[in-house]
Amino acid sequence: MHQPVLLKEVLDYLAPHSGGVYMDGCLGAGGYAEAILEAANPDGILFGFDIDQESIHIVTKRLEHYGERFRCRHAGYHEALSTLDSIGIGQLDGIVLDLGLSSDQLENPDRGFSFRSVGPLDMRFDRSTEESAEDLLKNVSEAELRRIISEYGEEPRARKIAQWLKQSLKKGTLRSTEDLAEVVMRALGRKKGRIHPATRVFQALRIAVNDELGNLKKGLEQLPTLLKQQGRLCIVSYHSLEDRMVKLAFKELARDKVKWRILTPRPLRASFEEINLNPRSRSAKLRVIEFL
C-alpha cells in the first residue's frame, strides 16, 4: 500500500494530539487517516469523507480497530459542513484534503481512470451517480467538449481533439479507455514524449464528470468555517487549476491578518527521495492556512 504524498509534512502542520478532532476529506486508501489517528492517541477523533463507496468500504475495514475514534461518511468534503452540523460537530482542530486519485482507483481498469489498461469510459468517483465519461462525451456538443479539454486539461490542441473524438463517437469506435487514448494519439500525430498525449484529456474528462473544481470551490468556502482557533487546513493538489484556486482562496482569507495566517508562502513539494519512491508525488503541492 502506497504511503500518502507529503505525509510527514502534513503531520508536521496538523500536529495531531490526544483529544483533538480532525477530518480527512478525501479518504482514498486511508493513509492520512491512519497516521492522524496514531498521532492523536489515545482519544483523538477523525471524521473521514469520500464520495467513492469502494474507498469507504476499504478504509472502514482497515481502520475498524480504532472503534469510535474513526467515523466514516459516504459524502464529499464539500458536504462536510452540513454533515458534521447534523451530528453536532461544530469545530475541528485540523483538516486535510488530498485532491488526487488513489492508487486503487488508478490501478483498477474497471474504473476507467487510466489509459494504461483497457477499461470502460467511466471515471466516476461515485458510481451511484448517473453520468459517466462515456455519457458526457455523447451528451455534450463539440464546442463544449473543446472547452472542457482546453480549460480543464489546459490542452492547446483541444479543437482538433474534440473533432476527432466526436467523429469517433459517430463511427462507434470510442468505447474504452484504450480507444480514447488511441484517438487522441492519432489526432495529435502519434507523438510521444515523457507525458502521454492523452494525459490532459483524461484529466479534463475526469474533472468534468466529477465536477471537481465546483466541489473544490464549495469546500474552500465552507471548510475554513469549521476550524477552531489554531486549527489548520492542509490541501494537497496536483495540477495548476486546483493549486491556483487554493492559493487565491487562502490569500483572500489572509487579508484578515487578525484571523488567518498562511503557513506556506510557497507550496511545499515532495523531496527527491519521495519522488523516487512514489513518482505520483512529483506534481503534488501542499498549502496550509491557520485560523488564529
Q: Residue-wise over 233-271: b if at least 16 C-beta within 10 A, else e? A: bbbbbbbebbbebbbebbeebeeeeeebeeebeebbbbe
Cα gap 20→39, rounded to integer Å:
10
* pLDDT for residue 178: 95
* pLDDT for residue 193: 62
* Domain residue limits, the chain: 7-104+213-291, 111-211
* pLDDT for residue 191: 65
Contact 267, 243 (CB under 8 A): yes
pLDDT band at 116 (very low <50, low <70, confident <90, very high): confident
* pLDDT for residue 21: 97
What's the CATH class of domain 111-211? mainly alpha
pLDDT band at 190 (very low <50, low <70, confident <90, very high): low
Stated pTM of the model: 0.93
User: In sequence order, what DSSP letters do the residues of 61-112 get, joined into one string?
Assistant: HHTGGGGGGEEEEEB-GGGHHHHHHHTT---EEEEEEE-SPPHHHHH-GGG-
Percent of the chain with pLDDT over 90: 86
What is the dihedral angle through the alpha carbons of 156, 161, 162, 166, rounded to the nearest 10 degrees?
180
Cα gap 262→122, rounded to integer Å:
37
- Count, residues in the chain: 292
* pLDDT for residue 104: 79
Mean per-residue pLDDT for 226-251? Answer: 97
Residue 33's φ and ψ, nearest 5 degrees, are -60, -45
Contact 22, 95 (CB under 8 A): yes
The two domains 7-104+213-291 and 111-211 share their CATH topology (first three levels equal): no
CATH placement of domain 7-104+213-291: 3.40.50.150
Q: Is the dihedral of CA 117, 120, 122, 125 positive or negative?
A: negative
Cα gap 101→256, rounded to integer Å:
33
Over residues 64-104, the pLDDT tens digits come to: 999 999 999 999 999 999 999 998 898 999 999 999 888 77
Q: Is pLDDT at 141 greater than 80 in this prediction?
A: yes
pLDDT band at 2 (very low <50, low <70, confident <90, very high): low
